[in-house]
Structure formats: C-alpha cells, structure tokens
Amino acid sequence: RKTNLGVQDKCDFLEYYWERTNYNAVRDSIKQILPQPGYDDGSTGPVLVRLAWHAAGTYDMHTNTGGSNGATMRFAMEASDPANAGLEYARKFLEPIKHKFPWISYADLWTLAGVVAIEEMGGPVVPWKPGRTDKTQESDCPPNGRLPDAAHTQQHIRDVFYRMGFTDREIVALMGAHTIGRCHKDRSGYDGPWTYTPTRFSNQLDEDDELMMLPADMALIIDPKFREIVNIYAQDKKAFFNDFASAFGKLLELGVTRNGNDVAKL
C-alpha cells in the first residue's frame, strides 16, 4: 500500500514504536530500584512481589472480575483494604519508573516489577506478557476482602485460591514465595522474616521456632495433601522453580483481556 510518509516520518514512527515496546529498558530500571539500603533487608524486591500478587489476587473466576488488569489499587477504596497495608511503599518505589516510561500501564508495571524482582532474587523466570490497561474509575475496584487472611488455614486458602482457578499443586508452588520478605507489625500485625535469607528466593521450608510462619503457611504442613506436595518441592528445586514460574505467570494473567479476548494464553 502506498503511503505519503517520507523517510523521516518512517524513522520517527519506528523510534516511537521501539520506545513504546522497549520493556527491556523498563526491566533495567526496575533492577536499579531493587537495592534499597535502609529499607527492610536492603531490597524492595519482596514488597514488589507482594504488590504484583495483591493486584492479581482479587480475581474471581465465577464473575470474571478483579485481577491484575486495571491497577485499581491506585484508588483509595482498594488501597485501604487492610490486606493491602504497606503496599503504598511498593507503589511509591515504582512511581519514578512510571514517570520515565509514561507509556507503560500501571497494571503492566506492577506485574512486571514482581517478575523482575523474583528473577533478581534468584528465583525462576516467570512468563510475562504486556497489554494490561488501567481502569479509570474507583467504581471499577473489586470489592475489598477477596485477598486471603493469614490467620486462617487450609479451608480458607483453598476457598480463596480455588476462586482464582488454582489447583492444590499450584497453591503449594505459589506459597514458596513466602521464603522472601518479611512481616511487619504495623502492616499485618505479624512480625519477622520467613528465612534467614529474606532477599533470596529458595525452596527452603523452615520449621525452626525462631523464624516466622503464618497460620496460613502452617496449613501446608498440617494438611496431608498439601504436605505431600511440599515434600516433593523440598527435594526437587527444579520442579518447584518450574511449577512456581507457571503458577505465578498464571496469577498475573488473571482477569487480563487483550484486544477483547479473555485471558491470553502465555
């Protein structure tokens, strides 16, 4: 097809297109904000992973509402869900990157930041695709209370993760993320890290008294079906990394529509 574009126009277009799809430059900027002396254990990685998961974990497969599309945690209603306490730190850490790359949606940035953080902390490469859009109204927020409550055990965990469409095996794989980061008294009421290396992603399961385990984490050991899968992962880091990567990738796709199609295949 003939166009009236000159060479300069074409160059401008290519430059514009390249810039708008340069997710590697965004990844590099995310890597740069991970080391953060003076914040927690010196890394923003864990709180960025928590932001990505909480943005996605509101998904309800029965109504196809919630999920990582929309970045509705920008609005006061969702930000003030007690389950999201402390995630304002993660959102603030990412704000300069949004300013540097205004073309990326918050929904893509928050999920990509979680993926980059996992990789940089020594975890697996989680599949990630761009294309999320930001919702613009507070009324687009899913109802509060959809995220899990750490005080509860296996029944509650199954209720919440089955609602998102996960299996028992995927639930156990995902729960491996509780080897990174820590709890904060002023955010959740709990306190302390899960492991001695809270900025390294591992398949370490620690039943040591000195470290923290939420009632929800204990469910993995108490429930016989969960425990069986825990034992597999404890002995097979490769299987854990593979399954974690697919389950976390699936989590970040929940509620995502691209070009009018539901849940794009990775």
Which residue among 180, 205, 213, 254 contacts ligand HIF (CB under 6 A)? Answer: 180
Taking the complex as a whole, the smallest distance from the CB of residue 73 to ligand HIF amounts, in Å, to 15
For residue 82, give the DSSP letter: G
Under a CB-based contact definition with an 8 Å cutoff, are residues 150 and 214 in contact? Answer: yes
| Active-site residue (options: 53, 54, 128, 178) | 54
Within the chain, what is the greatest distance between any pair of CA atoms? 72
Taking the complex as a whole, the smallest distance from the CB of residue 186 to ligand HIF amounts, in Å, to 8
Q: Cβ of 173: how many Cβ atoms within 10 Å?
A: 25
- Token pair in block for residue 52: 């990505």
- Token pair in block for residue 197: 């290396």
Q: Which is nearer to ligand HIF, 69 or 195 (CB)?
A: 195
Which candidate, 238, 168, 169, 227, places its Cα nearest to that of 203? 238
194 tagged catalytic: yes
Site track for ligand HIF across 147-166, x = CB under 6 A: -x-x------x---------
| Active-site residue (options: 53, 110, 128, 194) | 194
Which residue among 164, 174, 254, 256 contacts ligand HIF (CB under 6 A)? Answer: 174
Which candidate, 92, 253, 123, 244, places its Cα nearest to that of 175? 244
Residue ranges that bind ligand HIF, judged by CB under 6 A? 46-47, 49-50, 53, 86, 148, 150, 157, 174-175, 177-178, 180-184, 187-188, 190, 214, 216
Catalytic residues: 54, 194
